[in-house]
Amino acid sequence: MIKRIALPALAALALAGCGPTGPANTVAADNADVEANAVGNEAAPGNALAAVLGMSDRQRNVVFIRALLDADIACQQVTSSERLPDQDGKPLWRVNCSDKAAYMIGITPDGTANIVSRSDR
């Protein structure tokens, strides 16, 4: 089964909880700076894939749990994720949940998460 979930604010969601917050306009500006600098200034603004590639494992796992939950896939916790060889030129990860279920997740530059599952969970 393949599910496609659009996560327009993918990087901002994962990074929003990483530190103290100030006024709303300051947080938005800070998040834009973090996303732009996530991979050494290689990320174009709005390039969710570049932001995900520049995240720590912990931050990336937060993005993956969000994608799974948005796809109505039961996963209590992402325990690990492993980068696999690119598929069709796109990055791919194996994501493991605490219930031992595993999913393949690919992220596109526009923030769409393509989730592949072996079951109809």
Is the predicted pLDDT of residue 52 greater than 60, yes or no?
yes
Looking at every residue in the chain, the average pLDDT score rounds to 75
- The full DSSP string for the chain is -EEEEE-TTHHHHHHHTSS---SHHHHHHHHHHHHHHTTTT-PPTT-HHHHHHTS-HHHHHHHHHHHHHHTT---S-EEEEEEEEEETTEEEEEEEETTS-EEEEEE-TT-EEEEE-SS--
Share of the chain above pLDDT 70, in %: 60
Cα–Cα distance list, 48 to 22, 33, 37, 42, 85 (Å):
23, 13, 12, 12, 19
Q: What is the pLDDT of residue 119?
A: 63
Residues forming beta bridges with residue 94, ordered by sequence position: 82, 104
Q: Catalogue the long-range contacts made by 75-84 (C-beta closer than 8 Å, 24 or more residues apart).
A: 75/99, 75/101, 75/103, 81/57, 81/105
What would the pLDDT profile of 56-87 be if each residue is shown by its tens digit?
999 999 999 999 999 999 999 999 999 999 99
Q: What is the pLDDT of residue 89?
A: 86
Q: What is the pLDDT of residue 88?
A: 87
Over residues 83-97, mean pLDDT: 93
What would the pLDDT profile of 97-108 be if each residue is shown by its tens digit?
999 999 999 998
Over residues 5-25, mean pLDDT: 45
Position with higher pLDDT, 30 vs 4 = 4
Q: What is the pLDDT of residue 4?
A: 63
> Which residues make Cβ contacts (< 8 Å) with residue 94, sequence separation at least 6?
81, 82, 84, 102, 103, 104
